[in-house]
Amino acid sequence: MKRNSILMACFLLALPMFAQNRQPQVIDKVVAVVGKNIVLQSDIENQYLQMRLEGGATGTAKSMQCQVLEELLLQKLMLNQAEMDSITVTDEQVEAELDRRIQYFVSRMGSQEKLEEYFNKSILEIKDEVRRAAKENLLQQQVQSKIMEHVVVTPSEVKTFFRNLPQDSIPMVGTEYEICQIVKRPPVSLDEKLRVKDRLYQIRKRILEGESFSTLAVLYSEDPTATKGGELGWTGRGEWTPEFESVAFNLRDGEISDVVETEFGFHIIQLIEKRDNMVNCRHILLQAKVPVEALEKAQNELDSVAQLIRNGDMTFEEACKKFSDEDSKSNGGYLTNPASGGNRISLTDMSELESYFPEFKNLSFVISRLEVGEVSDPVPMTTNENKDAFRLVMVKKKIDPHQANLKDDYNLIQGWALNMKKQQAIGQWVSDKAAKAYIRLDENFSDCEFYYDWNIK
C-alpha cells in the first residue's frame, strides 16, 4: 500500500464539519486505542466517505478503511508523543489555525453567509466544533517536524536510490521547459509609500487599543499568512529579510513593532514567543501600489527591448543583463522551479505553483504559445513580493517526454529519494514508539495490511 501523504491534514479538520453534518451517522464504537487516545468507527467512516466524495478512494472499501485507520493511528501516536514530550500550542496559535481553516471553507463555499447557511451554524459555532481537531493538528505537525528535522539525502544516496529502481518502474517525465525572462519592476512613488504607512499605523493603533492582531491580519494583511492570522511559525535567523529579522528578534513577548519596511512592503510585527534562537511571530503586510503610468512605461520599454532581440541587435542574455530588474539577470534570466530548485518546469507545475508563487500566474498560457527561441510580447505579472511588473519571456529549451534519468532529471529524482527517506524515518519512528505505547485494535480490523510496523500482538 503506497502513501500519498504522511498526514491527511486537510481531511482532518474538514471532516468534523463536512462529513458529520451531511452524511448518515453510523453506530459508533471504539475501534482502536493508542495510549490515552481513541479512534472511533465514525472517524473511519467519515474520512472514508469524504475520500469517495473527492474521488480519492481506490481499491476495495476494506483496504481504504484500513488505510484511513492507519493514518488515524499515526495521528494518535503523534499526539501521545506530544504529551510525553510536553509539547504545547498556545490559544493564539489555535485561533490562527481556525481562522485559516474557516477562510479556506469560506473560499470553497463562496461567502461566510453560505458557509453558515450550509451548516445552519454561526462561524463561532463552527469554530467550536473543530477547535480540538485544530489543536491536535498543530501538535502533530510539531512532532512530525521533529522527526524530519535531520532527514537529508546525499548525492551518493540519490544515485543509489535510482540505480535500485527496477527498470520498468522508472516513470516517464512529461514535457518540460527551460524559461528565461526579462522583468521590469516600476518604482513606487513616495506619496504612495506614505499613504500605506499611515494606514498601517492606524491598524497598529487599533491593536494597541485592544483589537485582535490575528483578526486584523485576516481582514487587512496582503500576505498569504493572513489566513492564519498573520502567523509565520517558528523561524530561525537567516530565514527572513535582514530588516524584518532585526526587529522580530528584538521584540518582547506580545510586543507590537513600529512599521518596518522590507522588499515585500510595510509590516507591523508581533512576537508570540521566543525560544533560544527561534521566534514565532505574526505580522500584517501592506504593499504600496505601482501607478498606472509607471506600468505603461515599463511595458513600452520592454516592447522596444523585444524588438532589439527579434532584429538580432542583441541576444536575450545581453538584453537581460542590461535591462532586467531581477537578480537572475546575471545568469541569463532563468526561471527557477521552486519545487525542485532546478531550471526545468512543466506546464502542469506552472499551474500548480500559481497558488503559492504569484510570478507563475498565467505563465503556462504564455509558454504554451511560444516556440523555442521565440520572445513573447510584454506581459503583465505579479512578482513573488506581490508587486506589479511587466516581463518578456522566452522558451530557452523544450525537453520532450522521456524516461527519468540522472543526467536530465537529478532534482526530480533527488525529491523522490528524499520522500522515501522521510517515509523510512516515519516508519522507524512508528516502530520504536509503537513498541512502547499501549495500542489495541478491534478484531474487525485485525486483518488490515498496514504500511508501518505497529507491533500489534
Q: Write the CATH number for 351.
A: 3.10.50.40
Do 322 and 182 lie in one domain? The reply is yes
Residues 143, 430 contacting (CB under 8 angstroms): no
Do 300 and 272 lie in one domain? The reply is no
Residues 256, 141 contacting (CB under 8 angstroms): no
Per-residue pLDDT, 399: 92
In a 3-state reduction of DSSP, which class is residue 379? strand
Mean pLDDT of 342-357: 88
Residues 450, 74 contacting (CB under 8 angstroms): no
Do 353 and 436 lie in one domain? The reply is no
DSSP 249-309: TTPPTTPBP--EEETTEEEEEEEEEEETTEEEEEEEEE-PPPPHHHHHHHHHHHHHHHHHH
pLDDT above 50 (res 11): no
Across all residues in the chain, what is the average pLDDT?
87
Do 216 and 295 lie in one domain? The reply is no
Do 234 and 98 lie in one domain? The reply is no
Distance of CA 382 to the CA centre of its chain: 19
Mean pLDDT of 31-50: 88
The whole domain housing 254 covers 190-286
Q: Which three cell numbers stand for residue 256?
A: 507590537
254 in a domain, yes or no? yes
Do 387 and 433 lie in one domain? The reply is no
> Residue 380: enclosing H or E segment and its boundaries?
strand 379-382
With a pLDDT cut of 70, the percent of the chain lying above it is 92
pLDDT-derived band at 439, boundaries 50, 70, 90: very high
Task: Give this prediction's pTM.
Answer: 0.61
Do 301 and 204 lie in one domain? The reply is no
408 in a domain, yes or no? no
pLDDT-derived band at 53, boundaries 50, 70, 90: low
In a 3-state reduction of DSSP, which class is residue 59? coil
pLDDT above 80 (res 357): yes
Mean pLDDT of 107-118: 78
pLDDT-derived band at 107, boundaries 50, 70, 90: low
- What is d(CA 361, CA 381) in angstroms, rounded to the nearest whole number? 7
**Number of structural domains found in the chain:** 3
**CATH number of the CATH domain containing 441:** 1.10.4030.10
pLDDT-derived band at 127, boundaries 50, 70, 90: confident
pLDDT-derived band at 10, boundaries 50, 70, 90: very low
Do 432 and 345 lie in one domain? The reply is no
24 in a domain, yes or no? yes
- What is d(CA 372, CA 175) in angstroms, rounded to the nearest whole number? 13
Distance of CA 116 to the CA centre of its chain: 27
169 in a domain, yes or no? no
pLDDT above 90 (res 206): yes
- What is d(CA 45, CA 25) in angstroms, rounded to the nearest whole number? 9
452 in a domain, yes or no? no
For the stretch 55-72, pLDDT in tens is 666 778 888 999 999 999
Do 429 and 295 lie in one domain? The reply is no
Per-residue pLDDT, 299: 96
Residues 140, 78 contacting (CB under 8 angstroms): yes
pLDDT-derived band at 102, boundaries 50, 70, 90: confident
Out of 222, 255, 286, pick the residue that ends a domain.
286
Do 72 and 95 lie in one domain? The reply is yes
pLDDT-derived band at 54, boundaries 50, 70, 90: low
Per-residue pLDDT, 56: 62
pLDDT-derived band at 215, boundaries 50, 70, 90: very high
Do 133 and 249 lie in one domain? The reply is no
Do 135 and 229 lie in one domain? The reply is no
453 in a domain, yes or no? no
